Amino acid sequence: MSHDFVFTSESVTEGHPDKLCDQISDAIVDHYLTLDPGARIVTECAVARGVTFIAARFASSAQVDIPALARQVIQQVGYTEGEFNARDCSILTSLVEMPATARIVQDESILRDEDLEALVARNQVTAFGFACRQTPVLMPLPIWLAHRLARRLSKVRASRTLPYLTPDGTVQIGIEYRDRRPRRVHSITLTVSQHEPNVPKPNVLRTELIEHVIRPVFREETLGLDEHTRLFVNPNGVRVGGGPATHSGMTGRKTANDTYGGYARHSESALSGKDPLRVDRIAAYMARFAAKNVVAAGLAEECEVQLSYAIGLAHPVSIHVETFGTGQIDEAELGRRLEANFDFRIGGIIRFFQLRQLSGKGAFYQHLATYGQVGRTDLELPWEKTGTADGLR
């Protein structure tokens, strides 16, 4: 990447069809783990006009009414009327039971070291974690701002400040970089859907979105708009209805939205819909934790941690650190310090973050499904803590 460039990232609201699928999938994970912390559950969802399809594989003593749960999520998101709504949409399921031996019976807090060695990867995966000093939470600025704007867009709909908005909205923001540092806001694009018959005229929609969405967000940001910032509202024309009635959705199609907005590398694997024994989910959290602690320790301005796992092994086969020329010490030494301070085994990650107990605090994984699974300030995410920074120094 050159030192001077414009980078764009995208965020979407809860009602975007892909994010609706992520929330349904993670709500199912939450319910299984709440009732049975040893449960194994992998679930995927697809939505289209009038139809929700759910495929799930599970091993659990819990009984979960998956169709009822899906309707509950659809209603919570705001689809209560129209061509796609919680009451009338068809729910189709394909449910397959895993062998009972797939369950984790023991509490990982009492697992012995040899027990952790037995928890091996069942999938090959290379996961990436990233951190940088562009924002207080050590996230790239484009995705940080995109999430803030999308969350604000959802808030003004829910509060009926702009009652004509539907749950489906998309935000894209472009940030101009100079010498790899954010210098100005290049452009903002808001794409929203509206209810009939109260569809405002384009100039009214633009004015109200600027007043109630864009300006409130940037009043709290150091980097503000200028006279050259380009603002686009529904550049492809009026959108009526939106949501699954207009475009389909699937679990796991917004992995850049879940992580770093495309600014840094991420695995191709979906994060949502998987229990904590799935290494392709939890390795992404551990890699973020490692990278964030490196930056928090002052050992680099930017850091990417790559973890590669092979089927049948508990430990990663590779731990690679990249600091993009900003490191204070050798990258190989950083890798050695990470291995000395963190347990990158699958069982070690589950135990350290207490991943099977988090659903007992409410709809934990469902909340993760929107506005990013890293870099959050509204959730107590164990992989966002920086208490290990001192050890790395």
Tell me the pLDDT band of 110, cut-offs 50, 70 and 90.
Answer: low
Report pLDDT for 238.
81
Please say whether the structural domain 17-105 has been given the CATH code 1.10.1200.10.
Answer: no
Q: Which of 251, 250, 268 is nearest to 259 (CA)?
A: 268
Residues comprising the chain, all counted: 393
Architecture of domain 125-134+252-392: 2-Layer Sandwich (3.30)
Helices (H), strands (E): how many in the chain? 12, 11
| Integer Cα distance of 389 and 280 in angstroms | 25
Q: Which of 81, 83, 86, 97 is nearest to 24 (CA)?
A: 86
Flag whether pLDDT at 111 surpasses 70: no
For 5-12+141-244, which CATH class?
alpha beta
Report pLDDT for 106.
60
pTM for the whole thing? 0.95
Mutual angle of helices 279-296 and 331-341, in 10-degree steps = 120
Q: Which of 55, 127, 64, 129 is nearest to 93 (CA)?
A: 55
Report pLDDT for 243.
93
Flag whether pLDDT at 26 surpasses 70: yes
Report pLDDT for 116.
83
- Do the first three CATH levels of 5-12+141-244 and 17-105 match, i.e. the same topology? yes
Region 104-118 average pLDDT: 70
Region 52-79 average pLDDT: 96
Residues 83-99: pLDDT tens digits? 999 999 999 999 999 98
Tokens of 20: 């609706």
Residues 167-201: pLDDT tens digits? 999 999 999 999 989 999 999 999 999 987 778 88
Flag whether pLDDT at 339 surpasses 90: yes
Report pLDDT for 183.
96
Flag whether pLDDT at 109 surpasses 60: no
Report pLDDT for 242.
87
Report pLDDT for 280.
94
Domain residue spans in the chain? 5-12+141-244, 17-105, 125-134+252-392
Q: Which of 47, 50, 89 is nearest to 71 (CA)?
A: 89
Pairing of strands 181-194, 230-233: parallel
Please report, rounded to a whole number, the percentage of residues in the chain having pLDDT higher than 70.
97
